[in-house]
Amino acid sequence: MKLAGKIAIITGGGSGIGHEAAKLFAAEGAIVIVADRDGAAAERVAAEIESDSGKASAHTIDVSKEAEIKAMIDRVVADHGRLDILVNNAGFGFAGTVVTTSETDWDALMAVNVKGVFFGCKHAIPVMEKQGGGVIVNTASAVANVGITDRAAYVASKGAVAALTRAMAIDHVAAKIRINCVAPGTIESPYFAKILSGPDGAELRHGLEQRQAMERLGQPVEIARAMLFLASDDASFCTGTTLVADGGWTAR
């Protein structure tokens, strides 16, 4: 098992990519803390893992609140004695250019997508330093490398995650903490299911598929596998990097 006995927190673990990552990490031997703003969803994922002979618990959290992040990490360390892996996966997006995006909406998105990563790392890194190392995986996006229309705040937030990942990796490499990010393309998820449920859903889906060279949407488990690689010793020589898993979108 690639993660035998490792203690792993996965934020945004109640659905989509986070859900699949939680299941995969548990299957590889990790003790998984499924953290999500939707506490019921986190509980369902933890129960699913436990029913499949894995080890998991649920934690309700708003990653935009530093006190909640700190309390969660403190609780995990109190319960398990260490924190080996942190996956900062919680995030969301909305439509809008800089002209149409309100300051309130901008701040709300940045609070989750960027400050959530900042808070998680701020409180996980001292724990990892004290224990002699650890791994952090952040969820960026293919749009950290390429612009798309009508998603200005989201694109900016994911670019920030990728840049912050590089900066932290350099700052903490001497402490034997590896910090990387994964950059998914467009993935089948509850978020995109809502977008594609509209009257123009079929046409929109076709467009999303065509912009990726493989001409399909990715599956959450495909991103979870990339996260597993970065979290495991298979990626022992990787830090400060972005693993792009976008079906060839940004290769064009």
Residue that wins the pLDDT comparison between 198 and 35: 35
What's the mean pLDDT in 44-65? 99
Statement: residue 201 has pLDDT above 90: no
- Per the structure block, which two tokens stand in for 73? 């990490």
Residue 136 has a pLDDT of 99
**49 domain-assigned:** yes
Q: If you write DSSP's letter for every residue of 229-243 in order, what string do you get?
A: HHHSGGGTT--S-EE
Type of residue at 47: A
C-alpha span between 46 and 35 (Å, rounded): 10
**203 domain-assigned:** no
Instruction: Tell which residue, 76, 77, 86, has the closest CA to residue 12.
Output: 86
**Is 191 marked active-site?**
no
CB 211 within 8 A of CB 151: no
Residue 173 has a pLDDT of 99
C-alpha span between 84 and 136 (Å, rounded): 8
3-class secondary-structure state, position 249? helix
Per DSSP, 134 falls in state E
**90 domain-assigned:** yes
What's the mean pLDDT in 53-78? 99
Q: If you write DSSP's letter for every residue of 47-108 in order, what string do you get?
A: HHHHHTT-EEEEEE--TT-HHHHHHHHHHHHHHHS---EEEE-------B-TTT--HHHHHH
Alpha helices, H only, the chain: 16-27, 39-51, 66-80, 103-113, 115-131, 152-172, 190-195, 201-210, 220-231
Task: Read off the pTM.
Answer: 0.97
**64 domain-assigned:** yes
C-alpha span between 234 and 166 (Å, rounded): 19
Encode pLDDT of 150-184 as tens digits.
Answer: 999 999 999 999 999 999 999 999 999 999 999 99
The count of structural domains within the chain is 1
**63 domain-assigned:** yes
**176 domain-assigned:** yes
CB 121 within 8 A of CB 143: no
Q: Provide the residue range defining the domain that includes 131.
A: 7-188+221-239
C-alpha span between 131 and 179 (Å, rounded): 16
Residue 194 has a pLDDT of 76
Statement: residue 1 has pLDDT above 80: yes
C-alpha span between 191 and 213 (Å, rounded): 22
Share of the chain above pLDDT 70, in %: 100
Encode pLDDT of 12-31 as tens digits.
Answer: 999 999 999 999 999 999 99
CATH number of the domain at 90, please: 3.40.50.720
Residue 192 has a pLDDT of 76
Per DSSP, 247 falls in state T
Encode pLDDT of 80-93 as tens digits.
Answer: 999 999 999 999 99
**pLDDT mean across residues, the chain:** 97
Token match 């939707």: residue? 38
**39 domain-assigned:** yes
118, 119, 154, 249: which is the annotated catalytic residue? 154
Residue 195 has a pLDDT of 74
**131 domain-assigned:** yes
159: Cβ contacts below 8 Å, ≥ 6 apart: 140, 143, 144
